[in-house]
Amino acid sequence: MAEIIWVYAEIGDDKITTTSLEMLAKASEVGKAEAILLGPAPENTVQTLANHGATKIYRCADPVYRDYLTLPAAETVAGLIQKHQPAVMLFASSYSGRDLVANLSARLDCGAITDVGDFRLKDGSVEATIPALGASYQNTSTLLNQGTKLLVVRPKSFEPKVNEQPVAVEEVPPASDEGHRKVQMTERVTVKREGPQLEGAKIVVSGGRGLKGEENFAMLKELADVLGGAVGASRAAVDAGWVPYSMQIGQTGKTVKPDIYFACGISGAVQHLSGMKTSKFIISINKDAEAPIFQYSDFGVVGDVFKVIPQLIEELKRRKGV
């Protein structure tokens, strides 16, 4: 009998997140995929999950899951795990995914593996691959002495697949513990982003500490515009306050997988590499020939970003006849 694999489905920007669908694809490949969907969600969400491999959905639309962060979800999911004991439960390596797993592992007194890039089931035990971050080590891990294995999966680890299944929906009662109300979300602020979305962009032009200041991101924007791409940044540039967090690529930011990734004035810290190293082609420009980014680059230029990039922009315009 196929093992049951649960996916914690997340809503972001009023739709199901891509990572949720990526995890469903993997879950259907390994066993029988089922999803947990908590909190308000657009009407077509159940259908979208079914179209991507979910055979059963545990559902509660109560706003408690949206307004009180992750504790209510932890209560509900812990109850469902104890009742149904799926072999594996997958969570996205997102804000709520990580919070939820932290609470569940403490609540259920079980381990969890984070940063998972792939996994397989062998005789009921799980073998998870944690891809290396930059120059560090890659490892495979398992979880001992526990029922449901909790795995936190990196975005973009799998391809979403359309795989329509007949779906059963089971309504579950909302979390009831009043203690959850000790923490409440009172306001949701969206910081406007300019230009194309980073996540889906075919070309990403990113800047780091070597850009030296906020004003120099205009140059990257111009390069991105010429190529029809989006602008990203390393944590150093975000921490310096030059660009908003929504542009951060890396372990604590976004994970991107474009066709072309430009790393401009980025040294290639582990933190950053983990968010972009699966890009198809990596082109880097850095004045330090020893910068780790060059080890991951398909094409590297040891030079001054303030000379190389303007020349590249000019050259691209000339070749395009602009």
Q: Residues 94 to 113: which contact other proteins by CB under 8 A?
A: 94-95, 98-99, 101-103, 105-107, 109-113
**Alpha-carbon distances of 311 from 205, 211, 223, 299, rounded to whole Å:** 15, 16, 10, 16
**314 lies in the site for other proteins, by CB under 8 A:** yes
Q: Which is nearer to other proteins, 2 or 142 (CB)?
A: 142
Nearer to other proteins by C-beta: 48 or 278? 278
Binding other proteins (rule: CB under 8 A), the pick from 43, 166, 171, 189 is: 189
Residue selected from 44, 47, 82, 142 as contacting other proteins according to rule CB under 8 A: 142
Choice from 140, 147, 176, 288 touching other proteins (CB under 8 A): 140
Residue from 249, 167, 267, 271 nearest 211 by CA: 267
Helix axis angle, 305-320 to 217-227, nearest 10°:
30
Among the listed residues 65, 88, 78, the one whose alpha carbon sits nearest the alpha carbon of residue 3: 88
Cβ nearer to other proteins, comparing 167 with 316: 316
Does 82 bind other proteins (CB under 8 A)? Our answer is no
The answer to the question of residue 297 lying near other proteins (CB under 8 A) is yes
Q: Quick one: which of 132, 167, 169, 172 contacts other proteins (CB under 8 A)? A: 132
Does 122 engage in binding with other proteins (CB under 8 A)? no
- Minimum CB separation of residue 171 from other proteins in Å reads 27
Among 289, 290, 321, 322, binds other proteins (CB under 8 A): 289
Please, which of residues 244-283 interact with other proteins by CB under 8 A?
245-246, 251-252, 259-260, 271, 277, 281-283
Output the CA–CA distances (angstroms, integers) from residue 146 to 5, 17, 31, in the order listed.
Answer: 15, 29, 19
Render 265-319 in DSSP notation, one character per residue.
S----HHHHTTTTT-SEEEEEES-TT-GGGGG-SEEEES-HHHHHHHHHHHHHHH
Burial class (CB in 10 A: 0-12, 13-18, 19+), 235: buried
Q: Does 322 bind other proteins (CB under 8 A)?
A: no
Mention every residue, 6+ apart, whose C-beta is less than 8 A from residue 75: 175, 176, 177, 180
Q: Which is nearer to other proteins, 101 or 231 (CB)?
A: 101
CA max distance for the chain: 65
Chain centroid offset of residue 122 CA: 26
Q: Is residue 153 involved in binding other proteins (CB under 8 A)?
A: no
According to the binding rule CB under 8 A, does residue 320 interact with other proteins? yes
Work out whether 138 is an interface residue with other proteins (CB under 8 A): yes
Q: What are phi and psi of 150, to 5 degrees?
A: -95, 120
Query: Should residue 65 be labelled a site residue for other proteins when binding is judged by CB under 8 A?
Result: no
Q: Which of 238, 243, 247, 276 binds other proteins (CB under 8 A)?
A: 238
User: Which tokens belong to 302?
Assistant: 């040891």
Distance, in Å, from the CA atom of 87 to the CA atom of 3, rounded to the nearest integer, reads 6
Nearer to other proteins among residue 29 and residue 67 (C-beta)? 67
Q: Counting contacts by CB under 8 A, is residue 195 touching other proteins?
A: no
> By CB under 8 A, how many residues form the interface with other proteins?
88
Site for other proteins in 24-63 (CB under 8 A): none
